[in-house]
Structure 1
């Protein structure tokens, strides 16, 4: 099932998401498949629960399309459930980011170059991993979604003011994308 992508202005994007409980494990396999299908349809490399209107701590990543330019991402396809970043360090790196929930906006964002994250997989097995470079950036971007944060929140106030017109247009559904969207009512 392909979900519509929730866009800027919808309150679910600003809410901290809830954990999945072990008794909800049965619904995860289909949800993960649907999230990947939705992400691929929208030509994204990551998708979080809030972006499909689900305020739950889940995100999927498949950064393998970036492997031609960034070979370290060749095998980077993962599901993160109930994730918590437990360390952020390394040199801050500035690079462009975009988002399916903010179509048409791409801005430079500074993020730490290394993170340590704890999460469970769809079988509720716990993992703790360290990610560096672009993998760390992608994880932090998706993690922000389950925290109710958007990449534009990391921008300087002047930059945000300059984007106000575009953000207002997105919140009203005045955009042209090749995927279904959902705006706030």
Structure 2
């Protein structure tokens, strides 16, 4: 297994719909192993294949709830269904999220509180996940990556303007930028 560089906003693979996975072969299995290694090193709670430069419909996730119960897996060719969004402004305390492709930034974003995801695992067995709360947020965030959408693309108003300023200041928004988990100090 290897830690892979994570692409930063502006890289074309992050802004294009990913392709369905045909056959799950050893190359795909190795990619998923590397994605878990990269996600853990970052550290993150999810990682989509486009974030490591591979335009395939795969994402990994890993999260421990308040009681320390682990929740970890991979979904190949996922489909997402979600409960309609509740109206109103997002709560900055409860609904802020970040993204490994927008390192170091967090913004509040309204997401559906309940989702169902279907797809397959690496053995081709069907996967069906019904979750709510933070786990539903993770599923929506990673699924967005497979459609070429970053969570910052969903921001509006002052948060969208702030993000534009951050991107300009950091030189983001152009192809070829990445960072290496465990190597790059993003706070420097």
TM-score (norm 1): 0.84
Q: What RMSD, in angstroms, separates the aligned Cα atoms of the two structures?
A: 2.5
The CA distance in 2 between the partners of 1:180 and 1:83, in whole Å, is 31
Segments of structure 1 that go 5 or more residues without pairing to the other structure are none
Residue 127 (structure 2) aligns with? 127
Q: Which moved more, 1:24-33 or 1:108-117?
A: 24-33
Contact between 2:117 and 2:129, CA under 8 Å: does it hold in 1? yes
Q: How does 1:77-92 map to 2 (within 5 A)?
A: 77-89=72-84, 91=86
| Counterpart for residue 26 of structure 1 | 26
From the two aligned structures, give the one with the greater helix fraction.
1
Shift of 1:25: 2.8
Q: Following the alignment from structure 2 to structure 1, what is the Cα–Cα distance between the partners of residues 44 and 115?
A: 22
Q: Is the 8 A contact 2:6 2:181 kept in 1?
A: no
Specify the SS of the correspondent of 1:44.
coil
Q: Is the 8 A contact 2:5 2:178 kept in 1?
A: no
Residue matched to 1:11: 12
**Cα deviation, residue 156, structure 1:** 1.0
User: Measured at CA, do residues 119 and 175 of structure 1 come closer, stay the same or move farther in structure 2, by a change above 3 Å?
Assistant: closer
Name the residue aligned to 2:3.
2
Q: Normalising by structure 2, report the TM-score.
A: 0.83
